[in-house]
Chain A
């Protein structure tokens, strides 16, 4: 579904990604871990062109997307949801409006259809009575569940999660991870940058270890955690587990 070839990204003279070649299949749940500054968020943000790659190619459904015009990129982004570390809900809009804004503005649904969809999604993320509240009145965990609902309203084919629980108080991490597990069980293709090793073990179909701008090692979660090969990964795991 997503195929990356020799992807590099520089910020000034700093080389953040140093040539990444990867395949992500439909239905896969890829979890990316690694020390901070390893380039994992940048890699994720390149996939939906939030960052413009310096060189290399990204194919989405067989189509090269890095050289596309803005208009075509916007069409690609409709099919790739993204969930952010800091939720990025729209504070001036109600929860319902947060969810319905994009599908209505883009002419995918009428306001009525979108409202119905929003009600369904709110039920699904366990917050059916929050439709008319504003984001400021929600807890962090609730905000992130709404952000996921907002992404789901576009019926994406894949969702990119950029450290979705890193800004949450510990007691709220569970509710977000549970929702993500639920999505995974329903067959959603997911790419998740996270520090939650438990989630990686339980949900991932593949765990990827990034360090110094490259994918150093990757494996099924069983082998990844029980049999790490590279010294860097061993060291990393010994510190986080």
Chain B
């Protein structure tokens, strides 16, 4: 079978290309919403943790956050996905995509939290003191002085975390979600040829990652040039 025939069989016949496009759509939906959940969760955890580290307040929330970080970062994302689907939502009739969004969001939140906490702690402690010495309270100092500076340093790392998450969603097939990886696999099982569908899947990920990475680099250069003012 030559290349053209193989291509026809894997993608054109029976509209098999739709497994890839539908799968891509699912992958992007899961990634998009999981990134949002991860960011919200991550910022919350980072603020609690850095507040505890700097002021010794919020001890109980800080302990909960540390447990969350240890568990999430200490177990594989596939296992978390399976537990959330088969254990936590076992008796609830619920969309698998929704479960995947929750699982990947909670997972990503742990990594975002550590990135953002690093950014907050990297802001010189004198900035906090200057704000407080002027009579601003902790929250006002955080919002107006610390976070804008922290955000700027962690933005590229956060964007990279989103890119990593895009690739990590490829295990969504474990709970029978037809994402793009699963789509390629379905084609393989129908045509009994592995090369074409799997390489196609890999190429699609690669193109997305390369484009997004370019965007992040652009962003990084923008931020760097702002510093020279």
Contact = CB atoms under 8 A, between A and B. Distances in A.
B47 to A, nearest CB: 17
Interface stretch (A18-26, A28-36, A85-93, A213-221): A85-93
Interface stretch (B129-137, B162-170, B171-179): B129-137
Interface string A52-95: 00000000000000000011001101101110101011111000
B229 interface: yes
B130 A88 contact: yes
**Which interface residue of B133, B144, B145, B152 has the most chain A CB atoms within 10 A?**
B133
A118 interface: no
B148 interface: yes
Interface stretch (A100-108, A120-128, A229-237): A100-108
Contacts of A105: 136, 140, 144
Contacts of B80: none
B149 to A, nearest CB: 5
Contact of A50 (B129, B145, B149): B129
Contacts of B5: none
A207 interface: no
Contact of A136 (B131, B136, B149, B227): B227
A48 interface: yes
B127 A106 contact: no
B227 to A, nearest CB: 7
Contacts of B127: 88, 90
A105 B138 CA distance: 13
A77 B129 contact: no
B129 A90 contact: no
Given A90-B127, A92-B148, A102 B229 contact: no
Nearest to A101: B144
Nearest to B125: A88
Contacts of A134: 229
A86 B126 contact: yes
Contacts of B136: 74, 101-102, 105-106
A90 B137 CA distance: 16
Given A92-B149, A137-B229, A102 B126 contact: no
Contact residues on B (Cβ < 8 Å of other chain), bracket = 20 to 34
B139 to A, nearest CB: 10
Nearest to A89: B130
B124 to A, nearest CB: 7
Nearest to B143: A105
A158 interface: no
A71 B152 CA distance: 30
A84 B125 CA distance: 12
Interface string B52-94: 0000000000000000000000000000000000000000000
B135 A77 contact: yes
A154 B124 contact: no
B55 to A, nearest CB: 10
Interface string B190-229: 0000000000000000000000000000000000000111
A50 B132 contact: yes
A88 B134 contact: no
A165 interface: no
B137 A70 contact: yes
Contacts of A154: 134-135
Contact of A74 (B126, B137, B149): B137
Contacts of A91: 149
A48 B133 contact: yes
B125 to A, nearest CB: 9
Contact of A151 (B134, B140, B144, B227): B134
A86 B203 CA distance: 51
Interface of B: 124, 126-127, 129-138, 140, 144-145, 148-149, 152, 227-229
Given A80-B133, A92-B148, A154-B134, 17 more contacts: A50-B132, A74-B137, A77-B132, A77-B134, A78-B135, A82-B133, A84-B133, A88-B124, A88-B126, A90-B127, A90-B149, A101-B145, A102-B136, A105-B140, A136-B229, A151-B134, A154-B135
